[in-house]
Structure formats: structure tokens, C-alpha cells
Amino acid sequence: MPLWQAQDMQASSSAAGATAQVRFSFVLAAALVVGLYLAFLAAHLVLLYQMHGQTEVLRGEHQLPQKDFGLFWCAGNGLISQLAQSFHFHFSQSFRQVCQNDILSPQSPIDQAWPYPPTMGFLVAPFALLPLGEAFWVWRLFSVCVAALLLRRAGLSWQIISLGLASPAALHDFTNGQNGTLTGAWLLAALLLAGHGNRLAGFCAGLLSLKPHLGVGVSVAALRLRAWRMIGWAVAVAFFLAVAATYLWGLHGWVWFFGIAQHDEWLWASRPIKQVFPGAAITVYDMVRSFGLADRSALVVQGLASILAICLIWHCWAPGRLKLMPRVIITVCLNVWIVPHGFMYDLVAFSVAMGRWLSFVKVGSVSRPACCG
């Protein structure tokens, strides 16, 4: 056999061996990820099962088995009770047998105090009309269905939607009864439809005023695009919610939000890591504090990260610079950098975006999206 043929065969054999090694490593990593996911899923199914039969009483440091949704339910009942006093109609106070700790009171423990603006009352009050157990499941079904339909309306495939809504972040949100699935869908829909000046994009952006820090990236993108129709709808929705909440609950709710709630949130976030570890926290602020930085130094790092993220989002949304999907994926990722307060349930939008990014990846080779050149 000629020498050159032997060298070609040796090179081909080496290349085939390298490809097989890459494929084996990929399969091994995939099996590990799937195994960890199934363990995570099983743990959360156990938590959901354990909700039944536990004592449904909120007092002091004792949380309800429905986790964060228990706070939503108690806040919703408290807000309806305030309406009953203001507008003189009867509302049963039986909820106080469960909500023995008034989370709308300044005396509430800081980990159970109500941290949202008065406009959040429009989201939590309707579910408070149901018994706690049933309300939890209706809230979960409502959140998942609305999120799925909204993301589909925004142009994502059912495969990508399923990946995102079955992600660890979505499972964490589901078990805790949080609002990450719903707010994540609002965030993604607003970004995906922003370039079209769509009314739905503005409506979703306006709804993010219920959790204002999540809307920073959307606001930057809309301003960069000069999507004035979208901005107009967002401002109109936010303004309507604010005026309606003020009419129903008065200025007291805003005084609470800006005066008491924000102070309590800061006290909660700045507690020493050794005292209370911020489980499931995702922010730059909590990350650098875990490395030993003092609170003020951590805030400086967080501020720099926020400024950098906003500048990068502004750069990405320059007209004609990138295609829509890379812009959305980058913005959702950078949105995590912006705020000093956030947890795993706020990563549902990020999970959907990562599912969409995976559509660029092929086994054995990587197809780079437009954002990478």
C-alpha cells in the first residue's frame, strides 16, 4: 500500500475516533442532565403531594404548604376585606383562620410582608375568592394555559413552549405557586412582538408594571426601536391599572409599597449570608455577596452589571443590527443582570429562550445563531 494511502486511512480513523468520542461525551452529558432533571421533578412532585394534610395556618415564621401562593391568597383576601370596608358590602372574615398573620400589616415578619404594588391586587384577588387548596390549582392551571397560549401567539413552536414550561425554573415556580410563568410569558411576548408595534406587545409590557423590575429590558428595547405604538399601549395599561388600584384601595397601598415594602425587601435581601442563605437567588448582587463582599460593595457591582446590561440591550436592538430571535434571547439573558432581587422562578422566560437557542445546536456540530456572526 502506498504511504500516502496509509496516512489518509490513519487520518480518517483518527477523525472518526474523535467524532465518536464527542458523540459519546454528548450522550453521557445528556444522560446526566436527564437524570438530574428527573430527580428534580420527583422532588417537586413529592412537595406537591405533601401539601395535602399539612396545617393550613399562616402565623409567625410558619409558612403555608402552598408556599408563596399562600401569601398571594392571604393578600388577596386582605385586599378584598379592605374593599368591603370602603364600599360597605359583606365579606366573610373566615380567611383569618388561615391567615393569622396579617401580611398587609407593618408588624408582619419581613419574609412574609407583601412586597408588590397595589396593582398586583387585580391578579391575586380573584383567586382569593376560592378556598386555598382549590385556588392553588386554579392559579397553576390559569398561569400555564395563559403562558402557553400567549407564547404561541407570539410565534414560538409548541415544542419550544413545552421545553420552557417543563424546565426546572417552571417546576420551581409551579410548586411555590409563584408568578414567574405568567410574568415570563408577558416578558417574552412583549419582546417577540415589539418589532411589529403590536398592541399585544404593549399590553404585555404594561402588565409587567405589576412586577416592574422585569420590564426594564423591554422598555430599553422599545425605546431603541422607537416603537411608539407599543410604548403608548404599555403606558396606557400601566396608567389604567394604577388609577384603578388607587380608586379601589386609596393612596395607602402606594405608601405601603414605596415606604414599607421596599424597606422590608432591602432588609430581607441584605441579611448576612451566614444567617439566611438566599436559596434559589439568581442575581449578581447575591452572587458576589456569596463570595464575601460587603453589602455596599455588592450593590456597586450590581449597579455596574445593570448599567452594562442596559447598554448591551440598547446596542442589540439597534435597527438592522441583529435578527429578532437573537435579540430576544440576548435581552432575556441580560434582563437577569439588571435587578438586585430575583429568584429561580423568575427564570421561566430565560428557560424558554434557552430552549429556542438549542434549536441552533446540532449533535456533533454547532450551528451558530445570527448573534454570533
Q: Taking 50 as the threshold, does the pLDDT of residue 299 lie above it?
A: yes
Helix (H) or strand (E) holding 196: none
What pTM did the predictor assign? 0.83
Predicted local confidence at residue 6, as pLDDT:
52
* SS3 of 37-97: HHHHHHHHHHHHHHCCCCCCCEECCECCCCCHHHHHHHHHHHHHHHHHHHHCCCCCCHHHH
For 230-262, the pLDDT digits (tens) are 999 999 999 999 999 999 988 888 888 887 777
Phi (first) and psi of residue 358, to 5 degrees: -65, -20
Residue 369 has a pLDDT of 44
Instruction: Over range 56-63, report the average pLDDT.
Output: 53
Quote the mean pLDDT of the chain.
81
User: CB neighbours (10 Å) of residue 200?
Assistant: 17
Task: Give the residue-averaged pLDDT of 196-220.
Answer: 90
Return all residues near 314 (Cβ < 8 A) that are at least 6 apart: 220, 224
> For 283, which DSSP code?
S
What was the pLDDT predicted at 371? 40
pLDDT over 70 at 44, yes or no: no
Percentage with pLDDT > 70 across the chain: 80
- Please say whether the beta carbons of 340 and 284 come within 8 A: yes
Least confident of 13-27, 70-84, 115-129, 161-175: 13-27
Residue 366: band (very low, low, confident or very high) from pLDDT cuts 50, 70, 90: very low
In 3-state terms, what secondary structure has residue 7?
A: helix
